[in-house]
Structure 1
Amino acid sequence: MDFSDEGILISAKPLGEANTIAELLTARHGRHLGLVRGGRSRRMRPLMQLGNRLSVTWRARLADHLGGFNVEMLEPHAARVLDDQAALATIGSLTGLAKLLPERDPHPQLYYGALEVLTALDDANLWPALLVRWEMMLLQDLGFGLDLSECAATGTDADLVYVSPKSGRAVSRDAGKPYCDRLLQLPRFLLEENASPTPSDILAGFALTGHFLERDVLSPQGLTLPAARTRLLELLGRSQKDDVMPAKADIQ
């Protein structure tokens, strides 16, 4: 049994003194594990960094065996952002959440969405919105997609600004006004492809996806959101506060 594919490294666990068990989100074969011989060597260590895009060949005697990976670098995403704490936290969050996918179940759209996030890590104005949309896609692929097409109360598709934390359905401004303190915010950029989200929109988007990831996916398995995601939100929140603080007047 064998295949060739490309994938994003989402986990690398040491096995013995020299080898690594690599876990990748691949383009055509889903989340897949395999042994990388010599994966802990000085030559291979730069490849075994989370978020790297790799060319892989997997071989095993039987389909249900762990098998082994031969890997080659395609894009060293981790090395590009070593000095960017938020980008590194993004890699940690994305790769941590990708491990929620069932093993060997293809999710090509989710793979290429993840690749879009990683490719955009040089642009802090772009990747946060892409990451929120990717988490929305993850919920959809896991069977817990949100219905943002119309208001749950009125059936209208106009002025949708809330999401019910119970049903995961959109709610219009007028219908949600009496209960707005109990509803989740629905940022405009999740409804309009060309919308330009503000920092508060981004945080609202992460609050929205985080609620349903925790409730529907993680809590039933006794899991929590990745620590890297918590760190990412702290960094984004701190950046938002810095943006709104007035500049200090120069001392005359």
Structure 2
Amino acid sequence: MQWHDEGVILGIKRHGETSVVAEVMTRDHGRHMGLVHGGRSRRQQPLLQPGNRVDLVWRARLADHLGAFRVEPLSLRAARLMERACALYGVQAMAALLRLLPERDPHPALYAALDAILDALHEPASAGELFVRFELAVLDELGFGLDLTRCASTGATAALVYVSPKSGRAVSREAGLPFADRLLALPPFLADRQASPEREDLTDAFRLTGFFLVRNVYEPRGIAVPSAREAFVRSVLAVPADTAQ
């Protein structure tokens, strides 16, 4: 068995004295594991850092075997990502989200989003918004997507300022006002792609996606919210949302 693809390194685990098992999110083969012979060498270690985009050839005797990767560089951005806390924690947090998906299950749209976000993740001003949108995409792929396009009560597409915690659907200001204390805030930048998020908007957005991840994914599986997400949120909210650095 053999295939050729590109992917983003999510993490590695030591295997024996000289090799590693690499975890990679691939474009066409989903999240995939493979042995990298000599992966702990000086030449291979910089290549196998989380966030790097690589060219892969996977070989195994049978399809359900671990198999082995041959890895070549495409975009070595790990060093740049390590320069900022938001980028470092963001890579870890997105990897944790992708581990919620079945191994080897293709998700080409998520791969494309991951690869694009990693090129901008070192900028705190944009990292928060991009990460929230990635969480929404993962929820959608898991079957728990939110409908933020029209009011669940009236069908209106304007003045959407709430989200129902029961249905995950948007609610307009007029329809939701009597029940505001029981609804989640819908940040303007998620209702209107032209809007730029303020710090308060990002706080509401993290609360929104966090609520549905915990209720629909983490709690049913008996797992805790990844510490990398909490660290990422803290690092982003420590920087004003409208300040590019």
Q: Does 2:211 match 1:198?
A: no
8 Å contact kept, 1:151–1:171: yes
Shift of 1:65: 0.8
CA distance in 1, matches of 2:51, 2:182: 36
Partner of 1:220: 220
Q: Could you say what secondary structure the match of 2:195 adopts?
A: coil
Q: Aligned-residue CA RMSD in angstroms?
A: 1.6
Shift of 1:178: 2.1
CA distance in 2, matches of 1:4, 1:87: 28
CA distance in 1, matches of 2:15, 2:178: 56
8 Å contact kept, 1:12–1:23: yes
Shift of 1:229: 0.8
Partner of 2:208: 208
> 1:137 is aligned with what amino acid?
A
8 Å contact kept, 1:116–1:130: no
Q: TM-score, normalised by structure 2?
A: 0.93
1:93-242 pair list within 5 angstroms = 93-240=93-240
CA distance in 2, matches of 1:79, 1:43: 15
Q: Could you say what secondary structure the match of 1:100 adopts?
A: coil
Q: Could you say what secondary structure the match of 1:20 adopts?
A: strand
Shift of 1:66: 0.8
Shift of 1:54: 1.1
CA distance in 2, matches of 1:182, 1:49: 43
CA distance in 2, matches of 1:47, 1:182: 48
Aligned length: 242
Please, which moves more after superposition, 103-112 or 121-130? 121-130
CA distance in 2, matches of 1:83, 1:34: 28
Q: Does 2:9 match 1:9?
A: yes
> 2:40 is aligned with what amino acid?
R
CA distance in 2, matches of 1:12, 1:74: 18
Q: Could you say what secondary structure the match of 1:135 adopts?
A: helix
Partner of 1:247: none
> 2:127 is aligned with what amino acid?
W
> 1:65 is aligned with what amino acid?
H
Q: Which consecutive residues of structure 1, in runs of 5 or more, have no partner in the other structure?
A: 244-252
8 Å contact kept, 1:51–1:95: no
Divergent runs of 4+, >6 A: none
Cα gap change, 1:132/1:8 in structure 2, threshold over 3 Å: closer, same or farther?
Answer: same
Q: Give the % identical residues.
A: 50
Q: TM-score, normalised by structure 1?
A: 0.91
Partner of 2:82: 82
Q: Could you say what secondary structure the match of 1:72 adopts?
A: strand
8 Å contact kept, 2:51–2:81: no
Shift of 1:240: 4.3
Q: Could you say what secondary structure the match of 1:57 adopts?
A: strand
Cα deviation digits, residues 196-247 of structure 1 (max 9, x gap): 1112212221211111111111211111222111001112233349x8xxxx
Partner of 2:23: 23
8 Å contact kept, 1:149–1:157: yes
CA distance in 1, matches of 2:239, 2:220: 33
CA distance in 1, matches of 2:6, 2:62: 21
8 Å contact kept, 2:9–2:50: yes
Q: Could you say what secondary structure the match of 1:239 adopts?
A: coil
Return the structure number with greater relative CO, CA threshold 8 A, min gap 6.
2
